Amino acid sequence: TTREPVTVIGLGPMGRAMVRCLLDAGHPVTVWNRTPSKATPLVAFGATHAETIAEALAASELVILSLTDYRAMDDILSTATEALAGKLIVNLSSDTPQRTTEAASWLAGHGARPLVGGVMVSGELVGTERSYVFYSGPRDSFDAHANTLAVLGRPDYRGEDHALAQLYYQAHLDIFLTSLAAYLHATALMRAAGVTETTFAPYATEMFDMMPYFLKGVAEQLERGEYPGDGATATMMGATADHIVGASDAAGIDATLPRAVQSYYHRVLAAGHGKDGWPSLYEVIGNR
């Protein structure tokens, strides 16, 4: 395997995990971080600490950014634009697809090749078998460095449009963030009745485990725009949504999340989907 020099800019939990994996795989790694002290432990593992951003960019053709958002990239790279030409800038930071597209043209304007990525696991799983990373941008740039990038996790190239990887990342996090908040809400509802968090936890886990079963065939329904309510109607589910809001209000816990779900049901029922299944909520959510 080739030992490709890599620069990693941004040493939060994700950046640090990536540096460790790249070093373990034998790649020479140069690091830079706004708060320089975060580089010290990585230098002990063999990383080179660049004093300046220009120096960090000069060290490798392949430059990975792991930052809070794209504004951080602007703050950092705008101070060293003359060092961007010829670099493959792989930005593994979260932001909106629009922002991602703008940044890609800004980078290209400075002679860099932008590749966008979204890491789908947390820091401690980076580089393990469970890790996968979405990429989008020029196919040839991705192909040329895919072997090195594979160290971070299984690369999943989604297409030339720079925003695509960001969109895939966000769609996943949409499910993730909402589900995690739902879990906390349900747990608070139980706690208000005196059921402890640890008592409820295995029940919540079983519910999450059952989700693939409930999702079977739904995508096909959504594509067809037909939502048969054979087993469970939107009317029944909507009544249940009302009951969850009622229970939350009675328990004195925040009901923002179940109220949002209730609102979907109220609107889809008002639109005449009472005898359809729950996937008919797509009509309201997707503005079809």
Helical segments of 130-217, H only: 139-149, 163-192, 197-215
Q: Identify the sign of the CA torsion 34, 36, 41, 42.
A: positive
Which token pair is 31?
Answer: 């690091």
Q: How many angstroms from the chain centroid is the CA of residue 42?
A: 25
Could you tell me which stretch among 18-26, 81-89, 118-126, 212-220 binds ligand NDP (CB under 6 A)? 118-126
**Least distance (Å) from ligand NDP to the CB of residue 223?**
29
Among 28, 46, 123, 228, binds ligand NDP (CB under 6 A): 123
Is residue 41 close enough to count as binding ligand NDP by CB under 6 A? Answer: no
- Between the alpha carbon of residue 255 and those of residues 188, 193, 263, 276, the distances in Å are 11, 16, 12, 26
Q: Which is nearer to ligand NDP, 29 or 67 (CB)?
A: 67
DSSP, collapsed to helix, strand or coil, labels residue 8 as strand
| 73 burial via Cβ count (<10 Å: 0-12, 13-18, 19+) | buried
Among 7, 30, 48, 66, binds ligand NDP (CB under 6 A): 66
Could you tell me which stretch among 56-64, 66-74, 253-261, 275-283 binds ligand NDP (CB under 6 A)? 66-74
Q: Which is nearer to ligand NDP, 68 or 196 (CB)?
A: 68
Is residue 127 close enough to count as binding ligand NDP by CB under 6 A? Answer: no
Is residue 187 close enough to count as binding ligand NDP by CB under 6 A? Answer: no
d(CA 61, CA 85): 10
Residues 6+ apart with CB under 8 A from 11: 19, 31, 33, 35, 38, 39, 42, 66
Among 39, 103, 112, 119, binds ligand NDP (CB under 6 A): 119
Is residue 240 close enough to count as binding ligand NDP by CB under 6 A? Answer: no
Among 34, 139, 243, 275, binds ligand NDP (CB under 6 A): 34
Which residue ranges make up the site for ligand NDP (CB under 6 A)? 10-15, 33-35, 38, 66-68, 72, 75-76, 92-94, 119, 122-123
